[in-house]
Amino acid sequence: MTDLAAERVWRRPRRARGIWSLLLWSGAAALLLCQAIIWYQPRAPLLAVLEEFAIQLTAAAILVAFMALLLRRWLPLLLLAALAVTLSWPILAHRGAAAVVADPARLKVVSANLWHSAAGHDRTVEALLASDAAVIGLIEVTPDWRPALGSLRAKYPYQVDCFDTDPECLTMLLSKLPIAKPFAGRIWKATPIIASGEITWHGRPVTVIAAHWFRPVFASVDSQWGKEDPERAAYMAEGLPLSRQAGQAGLLAKYVNRQPRDLILMGDLNGVPWSRVQRAFRDRTGLDNHAGWATSWPSSLPWPLRLPIDHILARGDLIVTNFSAGPETDSDHLPVAAEIGWRD
């Protein structure tokens, strides 16, 4: 081998290491920028949405940190380890102690987004029938879906919807238990559209509400929410993204706080538990899920890439004791199920 050929062979590993090092620092810089934006707490919805991806950003930081370890780049390794901790902190800080409930009685509740673009219906209906829940909340019940729900309607004779009165109504409540005070429609003449009612369980009245929020990326049509509804600004506006979702959360918080204390809220809230909108909504209403969360969307992706945006929350003397995602269905969401008990 000539000296020139030997020099070329020697330069190849150095060039490859240089490329990997550049990728490493680029990844670290991108993650650091994401963390800075999240800490800044922007009000612009497209920037604020970064806080929703804490799981994915943490996973990315761990993967890039592993790359730094293989390349023996100790400074970026320390930086990425710190980023993995700070990016995951919202998730860890959100999780509270599991509730202890002595009463063995449990109310099973299921929430499912049927998906307006579903190609079929059978798997979803079968999964909902097999759940044997006492109450089911359905989202995106389009006209194409309604004929397919015949067997579900037969098993759940008590139903609340507003399909005949509002063309945008796609939310439905189904129950094995009789429903008193049924209501379905817009709250405060705006969205979200909800379906609600009062059931009697364990000898006590329980209010159940199914709701669907906008995605967090849509900007509010009125950044000064108080102009539309002065009471809404007092509930939710301060420090939150100027999104239509935050506006809906404010209206729903106002509505929920005028309902009885023992209440269950379920549905596709299009936000993770640790987002600013979710935390503000829970703080204002007292609704929470002490059993944790489960990633539910999009169902076609593996666990680390899905987001926990489908929720079942409770308050008053009710508490969520178990929460899980169901099997894959015809929807792009996994259904979620909760068992709810009475507090000690």
> Residue 149's pLDDT is what?
95
pLDDT in tens, 13-57: 566 567 777 888 888 999 999 999 999 999 999 999 999 999 999
pTM of the predicted model as reported, rounded to 2 decimal places? 0.90
Segment 1-20 shows an average pLDDT of 55
pLDDT in tens, 231-271: 555 567 678 999 999 999 999 999 999 999 999 999 999 99
Decide if pLDDT at 295 tops 50. Answer: yes
In this structure, which topology does domain 107-342 adopt according to CATH? Deoxyribonuclease I; Chain A (3.60.10)
> Residue 7's pLDDT is what?
46
Which of 272, 278, 286 has its CA nearest to residue 250? 278
Residue 102 CB neighbours (<10 A): 8
> Residue 4's pLDDT is what?
45
> Residue 327's pLDDT is what?
94
pLDDT in tens, 66-118: 988 888 888 889 999 999 999 999 888 766 666 667 778 899 999 999 999 99
DSSP string, 186-237: EETTEEEEEEEEEEEETTEEEEEEEEEPPPTTSBPS-S-HHHH-HHHIIIII
By the 10 Å C-beta count (0-12 exposed, 13-18 middle, 19+ buried), 264 is classed as buried
**Positive or negative, the Cα torsion across 183, 189, 194, 198?**
negative
> Residue 98's pLDDT is what?
62
Segment 215-230 shows an average pLDDT of 69
pLDDT in tens, 165-202: 999 999 999 999 999 999 999 997 888 999 999 999 98
Decide if pLDDT at 322 tops 70. Answer: yes
Rounded-to-integer distance, Cα 41 and Cα 26, Å:
23
